[in-house]
Structure 1
Amino acid sequence: MSRAKASNAPSENDIIPLAVARSPLGDEYQAQALSLELSLPYLGVVRPKDVRHANALLFLDENGLGLQVAGKGAPGPVRAEFVTGKMGYRREHGGGAGQLVARAVGLQKTKAGLHVVDATAGLGQDAFVLASLGCRVSLFERNPVVHALLADGLARAALNVDCAPFIARMTLQAGSSIDWLTNAAEESEAADVVYLDPMFPHRDKSALVKKEMQVFRTIVGDDDDSEALLTAALAAAKYRVAVKRPRKAPAINGPEPGTRIEGKSSRYDIYPIRALPLR
């Protein structure tokens, strides 16, 4: 740990919600840059299971940046991962344009290369699927911690020969998606499709997420401006707005969806504006 940052580390009597740290193989320059950018304490080289004075860590190791719960017995890190794991399997064995998110955007109805604005990108999984199917995707993620995770995941995937062509169609934007959508509508620079997947409150035990995602929800919180986001999306989208929701959850307050596509645990509310081009 550098001496410049050691003085900013919390004392052992302080419990902080989130800090930056790294393994011996984690990039120190990146760690210190994150600490400064996000105004978070930098703990230097640590083992997450040994940390007692932080609840969670933005932790850099040889696998990149992850959001890691501290302490013994904590679940594994949450990363934006496109090369391996679930997204790697999905890239190789996915269902093409028949996947629910692809149907929601309308890829079964058009061969045109659509510009999709993912206004609530999160860890970028749906955006990556759409990019792998030929869409040009602009991603917005307003939470600075999640934005950092997503930027790291995209950078790592860009170095992979199989993922690089898809990553080239994905652009991570800074700032508020509501502001961008509002300006796009005013300047007639509409996106073809706007995709929304707002965080929603979990109200019953059946909806609880996996343990490793609970810290993610704690950092991100719920999107309490979903109505404003939907309004801005409808004003900016050229062809449709697609909103991902829990299967039994109510629609976002506002106009009724024109149609719905249901899966096992989630559904997509579709707000059509005009017919998609055939090609």
Structure 2
Amino acid sequence: MRRGETPLGGVQDTGGELVLRREAGALVLAGESSRYGKPLRVDFAEGRAAHRRRFGGGRGQLIARACGLAAGVTPSVVDATAGLGRDAFVLASLGAEVLLIERVAQIHALLEDGLVRAASDADTAEIVARMHLAHGDATRELAALVAASGIAPQVVHLDPMFPHREKSALVKKEMRLFRELAGDDDDAPRLLEAALDVATHRVVVKRPRKAPPIAGPAPQHVIEGKTSRYDLYVHRSLKI
């Protein structure tokens, strides 16, 4: 292990440990490239996030429609499974105040680093000022984390780990890394229950298009895309 690298919780594969390290001015999470691919980083100013910000389709995007962003309506959103912050960044770029909750310490560190770097970029500073990061387990602490943030949870967005695919070759290397760190989100039903208790207007759950809903109450509405869908659990309408 080189100086400046940090082992992550004993997570290993045959090629060695996953490590956090600085690379080209950014914090990255890296492991054996044949298994995990390129080092993982959070970048809101360049790459995929920048392309989606410019050409993603604005409030016509599935996630925006699912979360209720419409003309004159910009709800506050709690992203209780923040991951790499991509969905939260889209919502914040459309004007929403977003609380990002991430329970995996290593992913939280990548998010924190990405937000700091984006705050110094003229194209993204205003957007990430609407993104508020918290470290904690939303399954057990959602109400407390929301209360501490001061953000009214009109919409709670959930994107639990997708079910395993039978053909492992189809699983992206990035997703392998997430599974190593976070597991399979077997507690997703409890997370949905917590979200329903906290959201004032709706809970939005991202799922593979053909996957069953999370165990629990049935969604009232579904918005489908080509490969994924959003299950909507609605308490009341979002109004202007």
Q: After superposition, where does 1:18-57 map in structure 2 within 5 Å? A: 21=2, 28=4, 35=6, 54-57=16-19
Deviation at 1:180, TM superposition (A): 4.0
CA RMSD of aligned residues (A): 2.8
Q: Pick from 124, 134, 149 the counterpart of residue 85 of structure 2.
A: 124
Larger Rg belongs to: 1
Given the two structures, how large is their TM-score scaled by the length of structure 2?
Answer: 0.88
Is 1:237 the counterpart of 2:237 in the alignment? Answer: no
Q: After superposition, where does 1:91-130 map in structure 2 within 5 Å? A: 91-108=53-70, 111-130=72-91
**Distance of 1:39 and 1:270 partners within structure 2:** 35
Is 1:154 the counterpart of 2:115 in the alignment? Answer: yes
Q: After superposition, where does 1:147-226 map in structure 2 within 5 Å? A: 147-183=108-144, 190-205=152-167, 208-226=170-188
**Distance of 1:204 and 1:136 partners within structure 2:** 38
Q: Pick from 251, 260, 270 the counterpart of residue 232 of structure 2.
A: 270
Deviations 1:76-116 (A, max 9, x none): 111112111111111111200000110110112x5233210
Deviation at 1:205, TM superposition (A): 1.7
Same amino acid, percent of matched pairs: 51
Is 1:139 the counterpart of 2:66 in the alignment? Answer: no
Q: 1:139–1:171: 8 Å Cα contact kept in structure 2?
A: yes
Is 1:65 the counterpart of 2:34 in the alignment? Answer: no
Change (3 A) 1:239 1:61: same
Given the two structures, how large is their TM-score scaled by the length of structure 1?
Answer: 0.76
Change (3 A) 1:221 1:98: same
Q: 1:184–1:236: 8 Å Cα contact kept in structure 2?
A: no
Change (3 A) 1:100 1:58: same
**Distance of 1:156 and 1:40 partners within structure 2:** 28
Specify the code of the residue in structure 2 equivalent to 1:193: V
Change (3 A) 1:205 1:165: same
Corresponding residue pairs, total:
237
Deviation at 1:71, TM superposition (A): 6.0
Change (3 A) 1:176 1:216: closer
Deviation at 1:192, TM superposition (A): 0.5
**Distance of 1:192 and 1:134 partners within structure 2:** 14
The gaps in structure 2 that reach 5 residues or longer are: none
Specify the code of the residue in structure 1 equivalent to 2:196: L
Change (3 A) 1:124 1:184: closer
Deviation at 1:184, TM superposition (A): 7.6
- Choose between structure 1 and 2 for higher RCO, CA contacts under 8 A separated by at least 6 residues: 2
Deviation at 1:157, TM superposition (A): 1.0
Give secondary structure in 2 for the equivalent of 1:79: coil
User: Mean alpha-carbon deviation: is it higher for 203-212 or for 236-245?
Assistant: 203-212
Q: 1:128–1:166: 8 Å Cα contact kept in structure 2?
A: yes
Change (3 A) 1:138 1:207: farther
